[in-house]
């Protein structure tokens, strides 16, 4: 059983792992802390970017010989394969560590097996320490690789009465600048941003991640995806500029459902093949309804402005619910004030896919 000190150190490993959010995809975020034989922290590391050294390798480099006979506390099972870097399990064995404490086992067939490799080498291994907390911090990647489709987050902004636009069609701006800045920060950690062609035709968004204070673009830009069954996206749409990569996904390319619309499950599978692990669904209300009806939304992030309109477009249309008993139930996981607005995060309780 893990000691209280090891449990506490895993909390530090979680903090380190979070530093890689938005830069490691399609790899996971991972944090690692190494204790020497006396229990003192001698090395720390996190996976910073895809193709770069893994968290364990960074921590081992910092610890040096002090890792021998020590304990490694790591959020994800050390990898056991030769990819762009060598197996972390072998590196730990060669470093002479005595014990490895792991939060979550690796669900991929290519990299799993590190724990068994360590045990065969005589290293003591403990698995499952602060597992739920670490799962939550790496939920997008873990969900994606387990389901072979991106972790899909539906983001929307609305008034307290659920309106995303006024009766005259105006929607800029329902929420505050603080909320919009928060959205751009969220975009910069996603691999893709999805909208329907209706949103492109109505609002002509650019869908880049940028600093709203000076307009500068974030270093990392998500793939911009337009779900456009009939290929109606204009050639001069802002989403077609060179600021970020764009994919206009049509039914002709992907296949369609019984209504002639883009098959959404196939769309997500194709995005996974393109190394998209976390995707942000931003519009519009019918596309959101279609994803929800198909059970393909993993998380909902809503920004609620302290305003009432009483008329205008609803934030969600046709999610396949026809009676209260069939309502899509959500469980709140966070409620935070952002400027004058409220941001809530919730997960559907009855996801199908």
CATH code of residue 48:
3.40.140.10
For the chain, the domain total comes to 2
Q: Which helix (H) or strand (E) holds 133?
A: helix 131-137
The boundaries of the domain holding residue 204 are 150-348
DSSP at 256: B
Residue where a domain stops, chosen among 118, 143, 168: 143
Q: Are residues 166 and 311 in the same domain?
A: yes
Which range in 39-48, 258-267, 316-325 is most confidently predicted, on average pLDDT? Answer: 39-48
With a cut of 50, say whether residue 353 has pLDDT above it.
Answer: no
Q: What is the pTM of this model?
A: 0.90
- Residues known to be catalytic: 56
Query: Do the annotations mark residue 32 as ligand-binding?
Result: no
Q: Are residues 118 and 45 in the same domain?
A: yes
Cα(87)–Cα(53) distance, integer angstroms: 11
Whole-number pLDDT of residue 161 = 95
Q: What percent of the chain has pLDDT over 70?
A: 97
Whole-number pLDDT of residue 350 = 65
Query: Do the annotations mark residue 284 as ligand-binding?
Result: yes
Query: Do the annotations mark residue 267 as ligand-binding?
Result: no
Binning pLDDT at 50, 70 and 90, where does residue 86 land?
A: confident
Query: Do the annotations mark residue 288 as ligand-binding?
Result: yes
Cβ burial, residue 252 (10 Å; 0-12/13-18/19+):
exposed
Out of 253-262, 289-298, 337-346, least confident range: 253-262
Average pLDDT of the residues of the chain? 92
With a cut of 90, say whether residue 185 has pLDDT above it.
Answer: no
Whole-number pLDDT of residue 349 = 87
**Residue 353 belongs to a domain:** no
**Distant-in-sequence, close-in-space partners of 255: CB < 8 Å, separation ≥ 6:** 262, 263, 266
Whole-number pLDDT of residue 186 = 85
Whole-number pLDDT of residue 351 = 57
Query: Do the annotations mark residue 16 as ligand-binding?
Result: no
Q: Where are the beta strands (DSSP E) in the chain?
A: 31-35, 41-46, 71-76, 99-104, 124-127, 151-159, 192-196, 223-227, 246-249, 278-283, 299-305, 330-338, 341-348
Query: Do the annotations mark residue 283 as ligand-binding?
Result: no
Residue where a domain stops, chosen among 128, 143, 158: 143
Cα(313)–Cα(311) distance, integer angstroms: 7
pLDDT digit string (tens) for 226-263? 999 999 999 999 999 999 999 999 999 988 887 889 99
Query: Do the annotations mark residue 207 as ligand-binding?
Result: yes
Residue 173: cis peptide before it, omega within 30 degrees of 0: yes
Which range in 69-83, 87-101, 162-176 is most confidently predicted, on average pLDDT? Answer: 87-101
Q: Would you say 51 and 83 are in contact if contact means Cβ atoms under 8 Å apart?
A: no
Whole-number pLDDT of residue 212 = 65
With a cut of 50, say whether residue 154 has pLDDT above it.
Answer: yes
């Amino acid at each position: 059983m893990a000691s209280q000190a090891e449990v506490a150190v895993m909390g530090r490993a979680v903090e380190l792992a979070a530093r890689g959010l938005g830069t490691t995809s399609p790899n996971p975020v991972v944090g690692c802390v190494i204790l020497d034989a006396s229990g003192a922290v001698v090395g720390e590391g996190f996976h910073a970017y895809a193709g770069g050294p893994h968290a364990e390798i960074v921590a081992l480099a910092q610890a040096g010989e002090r890792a021998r006979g020590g304990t490694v506390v790591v959020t994800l099972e050390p990898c056991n394969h030769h990819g762009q870097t060598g197996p972390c399990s072998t590196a730990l064995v060669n470093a002479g560590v005595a014990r490895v404490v792991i939060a979550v086992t690796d669900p991929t067939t290519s990299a799993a097996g590190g724990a068994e490799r360590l045990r065969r080498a005589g290293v003591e291994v403990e698995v499952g320490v602060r597992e739920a907390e670490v799962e939550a911090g790496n939920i997008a990647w873990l969900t994606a690789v387990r389901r072979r489709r991106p972790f899909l987050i539906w983001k929307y902004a609305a008034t307290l009465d659920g309106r995303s636009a006024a009766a005259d069609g105006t929607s800029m701006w329902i929420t505050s600048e603080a909320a919009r800045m928060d959205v751009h920060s969220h975009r910069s950690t996603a691999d893709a941003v999805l909208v329907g062609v209706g949103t492109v035709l109505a609002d002509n968004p650019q869908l880049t991640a940028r600093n709203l204070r000076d307009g500068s673009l974030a270093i990392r830009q998500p793939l911009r995806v337009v779900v456009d069954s009939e290929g109606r996206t204009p050639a001069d749409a802002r989403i077609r500029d060179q600021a970020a990569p764009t994919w206009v996904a049509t039914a002709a390319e992907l296949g369609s459902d019984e209504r002639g619309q883009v098959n959404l499950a196939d769309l997500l599978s194709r995005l996974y093949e393109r190394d998209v692990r976390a995707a942000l669904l931003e519009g519009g209300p019918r596309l959101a309804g279609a994803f929800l009806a198909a059970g393909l939304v993993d998380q909902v992030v809503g920004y609620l402005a302290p305003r009432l309109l009483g008329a205008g477009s609803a934030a969600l249309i046709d999610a396949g619910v026809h009676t209260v008993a069939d309502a899509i139930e959500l469980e709140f996981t966070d409620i935070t004030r952002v400027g004058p607005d409220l941001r809530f995060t919730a997960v559907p309780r009855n996801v199908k896919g």
